[in-house]
Structures are given as structure tokens and as C-alpha cells.
Amino acid sequence: MTRSIAIELDVYQIIWSHWEKGDADENAILRRVLGKLCIINSVSAASNSENESLDYIPASTQPVQSEIKEARTLTTGKIRWVDDVTNSLILLGGEADLSEIYFSVEKSRKEQGRKIVQSIDATIRQTIEAHSSDSGSWDVKRPNLFEKVSRGRWKLRNT
């Protein structure tokens, strides 16, 4: 059984910022990340208890450093370039010219007080191409998120 939930765009970005190879959708990402977060919370709760310490928690439930780091990243909401591009395409209706995407990403980053790199257009273009099988620059280790519509026009795949 599945249920739809309403989430804000920034939460959607955070979810997808934790995508890993093998994650088919948001449900898979959340199942993996929240599962690790539950383990970390149980470890924290046990270590804060007067009668228990980390030493008494079975080794199979002790989180490794990468899981702790991942959980911290989830709570800080680190946003990557691919998240910026995805967010902009969503705001632009799922499809847009590169010039519109450039403007939208830059505007969003400025509004959030985030860094604007000198080569922002090239960075955005490189991000799109690295996440699209329609590009010769596609990195097969990355999700195939963007689809080329025509020269200089892109859309979110499966929209």
C-alpha cells in the first residue's frame, strides 16, 4: 500500500540529495536514510540512559561513521547543484531553456544567501549533462534526471 504525502520543495530537495545508486524513488531513499536514522537515535537514547551505554548495544545496531555523517547531512539539508537545477526546473513547470534555468538557479541561490560561482552557467550546464543520458557527458553512476528537448532546452525526465 502506498500513500501520497504533501511536502514542500525544500524537503523534496533534501530527500533527493541523499540519492544513491539503487534508489528507485523517494520511498527507497527515505527507507534507507530513515532506517539508519532510527539506528542512530536508538544508540543516542541508549547512551543517554543512566543504566545503559553504547558498550551494551549489540554491534549490529551500532552505526558506522558514514551513517552518522549521512544523518547529520540530512538534518543540515546540504543542497547540491543538481538539487538547485531540479528545483528550478520544477519551479519553471518541468521544462525550460538553459537561459531560464541559469536565471532561476542564480536567483534562488542569491535569495538563500548561498555562493554564486563566477562560472555559474557552465556549472549548471555541466550538472545537467552529468545527469542526462541524452548527453555525451553523462556519468552512469549518477541518476538520469534530465531529458534534452531540443538545443538549449531541457526538462525533468518522466514529467
Q: What's the confidence (pLDDT) of residue 40? A: 44
Q: How far apart are CA 6 and CA 24, in angstroms?
A: 19
- Closest Cα partner for 17 from 65, 101, 86, 64? 86
Lateral strand order in the sheet of 146-150:
95-97, 153-156, 146-150
> Quick one: what percent of the chain has pLDDT higher than 70?
72
Q: What's the confidence (pLDDT) of residue 48? A: 46
Q: What's the confidence (pLDDT) of residue 89? A: 92
pLDDT at 132 over 50: yes
* Three-class secondary structure of residue 113 per DSSP: coil
Q: How far apart are CA 87 and CA 39, in angstroms?
A: 30
pTM above 0.75, yes or no: no
Residues in contact with 13: Cβ distance below 8 Å, sequence separation at least 6, in sequence order:
77, 79, 83, 86, 87
Higher pLDDT, 64 or 5: 5
Q: How far apart are CA 18 and CA 73, in angstroms?
A: 9
